Amino acid sequence: MSLKIMVYIKSLQSGPAAVSLSVTLECSYARGRPSCCEQAHAKMAVEEDIFGTFFDEETKTDVLVKRFTLKNSNNVSVQIITYGATITTINIPDKNGTLADVNLGFDDMNGYLLSTNPYFGAVVGRVANRIKGARFSIKGQQHNVAANRGENHLHGGIKGFDKKIWAANVEGSKVTFSYLSKDGEEGYPGDLLVNATYSLSEDNELVLEMKATCTKPTPVNLTNHAYFNLAGHNEGAKEIYEHELMLSADSYTPAVDAIPTGEIVPVKGTPFDLQTPKLLKNAIPETPENGYDNNFCVIQKNSDNGLNLVGRALHPKSGRVMEVFTNQPGVQLYTANFVPQDDSLPGKGGCFYKKHGAFCLETQNYPNAVNQANFPNSVLLPGHAYIHTALYKFSVQK
């Protein structure tokens, strides 16, 4: 038995340049056997289970944390939980087909609840990165937000989106996490409804699309704070130093105490010039702080899909490659400088995560953009939508 689909496409042009195309797609299957379409759907289906529970001190109730697993036919899998819409696992084969989890995280909720959890894999907001002085003005009205990093505001405040339980909905091969941030939460004006949709393609592309709408003008700058080590999450700084990293960024925003000065400076001739691939063991020692924690300005090329290349990381020994694309103007490169050097941060499988044991490529607007008139606008207005896409493409180089 077979199913035939006729597709007829006619060009919108007229005259000699007009093109007409007809395509026949045929999908055959034997009785009792799944069709090729059904097989593909089965491979891409989202699995759901329970990751754990925790006691919420605010509501005085036990909270259930769900986990969702995305898989494709290339043996790639990604797991995300409802706590913080957090990526907990990214399993990727190397050039020999050997799997490794390249995403730092924890085995259970006890780890994610640690006060020392450095935002592993979470969606952070309402505003990722810093807001100077924990305050900003919109239309002449000053708003004070939570000061949780000295006198400044970091990653959404004391209890940002990374510490919230998100609702989840599976549709086909995608899972969407939703959270309603109420007016006044962490000091932000207006309700903000956020959706974060994860999907995994047969081309090994992990796509995160974040959308938000609001009821009052409010700054919005979401990101995912995944920590990567393409050698394996537990391989530490030794293997991070062997990564080759390239960033498609011709300028950066200098900062003092992690707050941008407002300048946008060319990277050429500085330790921040990563436009050609550099080994991190050579690049990191050249930086003023012995590590990167800097916002880079992504080169805008007006691609057809609206996404620009952010960067490319290669771990030569395993052959694993990760390319990142986004529609955002900036990316924060962070090389885990503030992860402790001792055994105080236990990770998955009994390992300990330490300084320089991972890198982050946090697609974003520029830090403190709400207070810098020359930075890209970060204020979302009612009736408008915030749309942020981050695409992580995994492959191997033999």
Catalytic residue (one of 155, 323, 362, 388): 362
**DSSP letter, residue 275:** S
72 is in an annotated binding site: no
Query: Cα 249 to the chain's mean position, in Å?
Result: 18
Cβ count within 10 A of residue 395: 17
CA–CA dist 354, 210 (Å, integer) = 30
| 3 state SS of 149 | strand
Rg (CA), the chain: 22
Annotated active-site residue 155? The verdict is no
Tokens representing 254 are: 């200098």
Query: What SS3 state is found at 44?
Result: helix
Are 348 and 102 contacting, i.e. CB atoms less than 8 angstroms apart? Answer: no
130 is in an annotated binding site: yes
With a CB cutoff of 8 Å and minimum separation 6, the contacts of 337 are 289, 290, 291, 292, 293, 355, 356
Partnered with residue 360 across adjacent β-strands are: 334
Give the N- to C-terminal CA distance of the chain in Å, as an integer.
41
Helix (H, G, I), strand (E, B) or coil at 163: helix
Using CA atoms, how far apart are residues 319 and 90, in angstroms rounded to an integer? 16
Q: Which helix (H) or strand (E) holds 332?
A: strand 330-334
Rounded CA separation 148/122 (Å):
17
Q: Is 358 annotated as a binding residue?
A: no
Residue with tokens 């932000």: 188
Is residue 362 part of the annotated active site? The answer reads yes
What is the C-alpha to C-alpha distance for residues 205 and 395, in angstroms, rounded to an integer? 9
> Is 143 annotated to bind ligand?
no
Does 227 belong to an annotated binding site? yes
Which is catalytic among the residues 153, 225, 243, 388? 225
The response to whether 62 counts as a known ligand-binding position is: no
Name the binding residues. Answer: 129-130, 225-227, 293
Name the binding residues for beta-D-galactose. Answer: 129-130, 225-227, 293
Active-site residues: which are they? Answer: 225, 362
